[in-house]
Amino acid sequence: MKKVYITDLDHTFLRTDLSVSSFTREVWNSVGIDSIVSVATARTYKKTAQFLKDIHINAPMILLDGALIATMDKKIIDTKFINKELGDAIIDEGAKFGIYPFVLSLADKDLSESFLYSTTLNSYQKEIIKNYKNDNHHHQHKNLRTMDENFKIVYFAEQKQLSEIAEHFKKTFGDILKYILAPEVYAGCYFLTVLHKDADKSHGIKSISEYADFDLSNLSVFGDNFNDLGMFELAGNAIAVANAQESVKKAADIILPHTNDEDAVAKYLKGISNGH
């Protein structure tokens, strides 16, 4: 039975500068010859494909926190959307706190994405937008509305404000949605992700295991943040990098001595292949 390795990207597999070292690439691709290998990320298909240009992936990817399960050649395995009516209601409720989100939506079945955002931006959002200045799928609106098929709705702000918004959403929408509040290391703030109730990495893991026909006991996963906890609970081997959040480390079977900037995932895999 083949071993299965699925890794988070940001702050786990990718370095902080969003690169993949030659060492990590060589080790990962070598492991992928005889194993099932894939990723689970909050990133979109487009960004994931860019980052993993020379990385071997031979199973469906968990994208957008589990809202999209798709192969590298754009075959859609599963989707969990927020519809337009609900998406617009989320925007309206968030606006009561003087804040508007980023909305990630499906533009077409070729996995083209739309990144929608308001003309009203806080300082964190303005900083984040700078990283996407060369992308052509941005749409800024004075009156922000969602599309028909929305992957996720994301707010960036201070932890206190987002905690209040999350509680308000829970009271307003209940359990028809999923709410993930976590630190945003790149921007130095927190982010609140609102998703379909079944859009998470644990549901993604189940979809991939059914598609690729593997036993979860053969699965090892790597992660660092709160949205990785679901797949940690399912995998036979849950592995946290040294820079992971403390609650993630507590849920892990193994805590690596190296950070993402020190090729933690690749060094672990290299050790396994060497019998250590």
The lowest-confidence range among 113-122, 158-167, 180-189 is 180-189
Tokens 């070598």, located at residue: 30
> Is pTM beyond 0.85 here?
yes
Two structure tokens written together for 115: 């990144």
pLDDT at 133: 65
Distance CA 49, CA 99 (A): 31
- For residue range 25-36, list pLDDT tens digits in order: 999 999 999 999
pLDDT band at 137 (very low <50, low <70, confident <90, very high): confident
- For residue range 20-63, list pLDDT tens digits in order: 999 999 999 999 999 999 999 999 999 999 999 999 999 999 99
Provide the mean pLDDT of the chain: 94
Range(s) within the chain of domains with CATH label 3.30.1240.10:
82-196
Average pLDDT over residues 159-182: 96
Please state the length of the chain.
276
Average pLDDT over residues 231-252: 97
Architecture (CATH level 2) of domain 4-79+200-273: 3-Layer(aba) Sandwich (3.40)
- For residue range 105-135, list pLDDT tens digits in order: 998 888 888 999 999 999 999 988 887 766 6
Architecture (CATH level 2) of domain 82-196: 2-Layer Sandwich (3.30)
What is the percentage of the chain residues whose pLDDT exceeds 90? Answer: 86
pLDDT at 109: 82
Find the distance separating the first CA and the last CA of the chain, reported in whole Å.
20
Distance CA 228, CA 24 (A): 21
Query: Count H helices, E strands: the chain?
Result: 9, 15
CB 99 within 8 A of CB 77: no
pLDDT at 274: 66
The lowest-confidence range among 3-12, 75-84, 110-119, 255-264 is 110-119
